[in-house]
Amino acid sequence: DIVMTQSPDSLAVSLGERATIYCNSSQSVLYTSNYKNSLGWYQQKPGQPPKLLIYWASTRESGVPDRFSGSGSGTDFTLTISSLQAEDVAIYYCQQYYNFPWAFGQGTKVEIK
Amino acid sequence: QVQLVQSGAEVKKPGASVKVSCKASGFTFNIYAIHWMRQAPGQRLEWMGRISVGNGNTKYSHKFQGRVTITRDTSARTAYMELSNLRPEDTAVYYCARFIMVPTAYSGFDYWGQGTQVTVSS
């Protein structure tokens, strides 16, 4: 099974500053057939279901602000919030959909410093 | 508009079973899979399994193999997740979410149900 590991577990960033979250998969999630990485990022606020931010590691979901960006390939991925806003306080999860069983990282809690 | 509406909260005793429903509307049901995840308090999201609505094919997490059954009723546009032999550690919020089955249109879990609290306690 693929294990997803995020770092850090929590992160405090000043408003307007950059937040960077890392995600590592225990094996590559790169489809060689289309050279796309089967990796998504989600934002979850208390009492709500997760919200899709990024898929294929770097494609922003429709309606997601462009301050959110994803990068990486193979086993190492990054979610960047370029200028943190108050409404970005949440827990962020990466998730692989390369192999069953699909799996999520443990989450990174983003707070305001 | 696209909606996934789940059934209400459940309280069960250890050893019992629970069946949670997920009713879909606003999209072409049979080109999607419905996945089930759960989240215990303070824990990560845990993928449980999925059903391909079009052909009924299922995949399950090894962790729940033998205890979880995912079904669908295409005429009712509803998917179901049944978890048997419940234990206190199964206490969690259970979510359904859709994922398109067309490879060229893959995105992610773009719509989720609102979540169903399942509490297992004697």
Give the pLDDT score at B89: 96
CA separation (Å) from B108 to A38, A59, A111, B105? Answer: 9, 10, 25, 10
Q: Of A51, A102, A107, which has the smallest distance from its Cβ to B47's Cβ?
A: A102
pLDDT of residue B102 exceeding 90: no
pLDDT of B38 over the 90 cut: yes
Cis preceding linkage at A8, omega within 30: yes
Q: Quick one: average pLDDT of A44-49? A: 96
Evaluate if residue B103 carries a pLDDT over 90: no
Chain A interface, Cβ < 8 Å to B = 1, 38, 40, 42, 44, 49-52, 54-56, 59, 61, 93, 95, 97, 100-107
The average pLDDT across B2-21 equals 98
Question: Residue A10: its pLDDT value, please?
Answer: 98
Confidence at residue A32, expressed as pLDDT on a 0 to 100 scale: 86
A50 contacts in B (CB within 8 Å)? 45, 95, 109, 112
Pairwise CA distance, residues B5 & A95, whole Å: 23
**Radius of gyration of chain A, Cα coordinates, nearest whole angstrom:** 13
Closest CA to B95 of B43, B30, B27, B54: B43
Distance in angstroms (rounded) separating the CA atoms of residues B42 and A106? 10
Residue A21 identity? I
Interface membership of B112 toward A (CB under 8 Å): yes
pLDDT of A7 above 90: yes
Q: Using the 8-state DSSP alphabet, how is residue B115 labeled?
A: -
Mean pLDDT (whole number) for B78-104: 95
Q: Report how far residue B20's alpha carbon sits from residue B97's, in angstroms, rounded to the nearest whole number.
A: 13
